[in-house]
């Protein structure tokens, strides 16, 4: 990947990718070098995204043939989960063996491993709009950096632009349920498993306490109305319960929690969506890194093979195992949000 100046963006590319997070990097690391590609991301790089960095089994499997750099891991010990249901006063443990990563380091590693010279990358550059040319053969892209605008043309547009995706909104303006995830890292060691906490007085989703090296993270996904007040209540409860002192730096981001399987969108025509932009995140536990990695890779493979075929159909076929896995999580999501039904899950 070659970082270029905004003024050096060419007039045309085969592909434009919006967003260089987990989905974008996975796409870029798997796309054929024959394509000329422009990737833009509105953040400065190396980027920071508020995220706990837990890599579940599907994400671990994604990296089964490569060795992640040591700097990626917050803790090399496999991470297991204790479920704490405060509504029903229940606790249970699950030997998950997840990876416990520093999300910023994972993102940087994914970004820096790319050595495809046919990819131009521009940071702090935002997609503003896009539209088809007459006959729908090409897409016109409008992007912006520091108040300057640039227009270019491409054949395919790949939206890897996360929960608040502009690419998705232009394709399909149906709203998808979202939460605000707020978290904080405290300078205190936590010698325990990670906790996923259910407390309907704060949220119908869940909160977490996760060991992070010699630190500990408290976080909660709360509905948007009075989000910070709800988080503060949760934070004080957790500090008291786990004897965590002081305060940390608050970070937050939007989190999609699709209500139904049909909220997931893979794209339309020559516009494709990967990761959270396509609402590919588990509605039961907000695990989005693995879906972003897998969908980015499948989308790139579909385009690599799509000569004279519909890339979205191919993408759908490649994504089938992930889509089936996501489909199964909708029922679980309903159960965990209902304190009565949840009782059966953890007793």
Ligand X SMILES: Cc1cc2nc3c(=O)[nH]c(=O)nc-3n(C[C@H](O)[C@H](O)[C@H](O)COP(=O)(O)OP(=O)(O)OC[C@H]3O[C@@H](n4cnc5c(N)ncnc54)[C@H](O)[C@@H]3O)c2cc1C
Q: Using CB under 6 A, list all residues that contact ligand X.
A: 18-24, 40-43, 47, 49-54, 126-127, 160-162, 166, 181, 183, 219, 253, 255, 275-277, 281, 286-290, 292
Residues 6+ apart with CB under 8 A from 252: 50, 180, 181, 182, 183, 227
Q: Are 22 and 164 in contact (CB under 8 A)?
A: no
Q: Which of 23, 303 has the CB closer to ligand X?
A: 23
DSSP 202-214: T-SS-EEEEEETT
Q: Which of 28, 303 has the CB closer to ligand X?
A: 28
Q: Which of 267, 288 has the CB closer to ligand X?
A: 288
At its nearest, how many Å lie between ligand X and the CB of residue 89? 26
At its nearest, how many Å lie between ligand X and the CB of residue 326? 12
Please give the DSSP secondary-structure letter assigned to residue 115: -
Q: Which of 226, 309 has the CB closer to ligand X?
A: 226
Query: Which residue has tokens 């039961």?
Result: 284
At its nearest, how many Å lie between ligand X and the CB of residue 307? 27
At its nearest, how many Å lie between ligand X and the CB of residue 186? 15
Name the strand (E) or helix (H) holding 22: helix 22-28
At its nearest, how many Å lie between ligand X and the CB of residue 125? 6
Q: Are 266 and 191 in contact (CB under 8 A)?
A: no
Closest residue to ligand X in the complex (CB): 288
Q: Which of 148, 343 has the CB closer to ligand X?
A: 148
Q: Which of 86, 326 has the CB closer to ligand X?
A: 326
Q: How far apart are CA 255 and CA 50, in angstroms?
A: 10
Locate 49 and state its tokens. 């995204």
The burial of 335, by beta-carbon neighbours within 10 Å (0-12 exposed, 13-18 middle, 19 or more buried), is given as middle
Q: What is the dihedral of CA 274, 275, 280, 281, to 10 degrees?
A: 180
At its nearest, how many Å lie between ligand X and the CB of residue 304? 20
Q: Which of 112, 309 has the CB closer to ligand X?
A: 112
Q: Which of 18, 197 has the CB closer to ligand X?
A: 18
At its nearest, how many Å lie between ligand X and the CB of residue 158? 11
Q: How far apart are CA 98 and CA 236, in angstroms?
A: 27
Q: List the Cα angle 69/184/223 in 5-degree steps.
A: 115
At its nearest, how many Å lie between ligand X and the CB of residue 30? 14
Q: What φ, ψ does residue 201 adopt, rounded to 5°?
A: -75, -15
From residue 71, alpha-carbon distances to 20, 109, 111, 135 in Å are 20, 9, 14, 49
Sign of CA dihedral 109, 304, 34, 13: negative
């Amino acid at each position: 990947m070659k970082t270029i100046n905004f003024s050096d963006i060419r007039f045309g590319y085969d592909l434009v990718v919006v967003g260089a997070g987990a989905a974008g990097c996975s796409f870029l690391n798997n796309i054929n070098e024959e394509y000329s590609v422009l990737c833009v991301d509105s953040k400065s790089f190396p980027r920071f995204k508020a995220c706990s960095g837990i890599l579940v089994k599907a994400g671990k499997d994604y990296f089964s043939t490569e060795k992640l750099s040591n700097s990626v891991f917050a803790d090399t010990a496999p991470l297991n989960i204790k479920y704490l249901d405060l509504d029903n006063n229940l606790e249970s443990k699950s030997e998950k063996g997840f990876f416990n990563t520093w999300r910023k380091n994972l993102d940087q590693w994914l970004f820096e491993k790319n050595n495809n010279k046919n990819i131009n990358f521009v940071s702090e550059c935002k997609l503003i709009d896009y539209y088809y040319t007459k006959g729908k053969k090409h897409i016109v892209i409008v992007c912006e950096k520091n108040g300057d605008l640039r227009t270019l043309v491409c054949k395919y547009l790949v939206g890897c632009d996360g929960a608040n995706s502009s690419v998705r909104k232009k394709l399909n303006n149906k709203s998808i349920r979202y939460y605000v995830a707020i978290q904080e890292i405290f300078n205190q060691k936590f010698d325990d498993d990670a906790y996923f906490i259910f407390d309907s007085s704060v949220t119908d989703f869940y909160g977490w306490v996760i060991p992070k090296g010699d630190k500990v993270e408290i976080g909660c996904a709360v509905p948007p109305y009075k989000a910070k007040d709800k988080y503060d209540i949760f934070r004080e409860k957790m500090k008291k319960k786990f004897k965590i002192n002081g305060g940390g730096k608050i970070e937050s981001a939007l989190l999609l929690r699709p209500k139904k399987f049909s909220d997931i969108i893979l794209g339309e025509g020559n516009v494709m969506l990967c990761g959270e932009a396509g609402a590919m995140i588990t509605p039961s536990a907000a695990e989005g890194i693995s879906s972003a990695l897998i969908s980015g890779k499948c989308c790139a493979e579909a385009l690599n093979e799509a000569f004279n075929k519909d890339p979205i159909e191919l993408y759908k076929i490649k994504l089938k195992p992930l889509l089936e896995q996501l489909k199964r999580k909708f029922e679980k999501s309903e159960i965990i949000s209902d304190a009565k039904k949840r009782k059966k899950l953890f007793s």
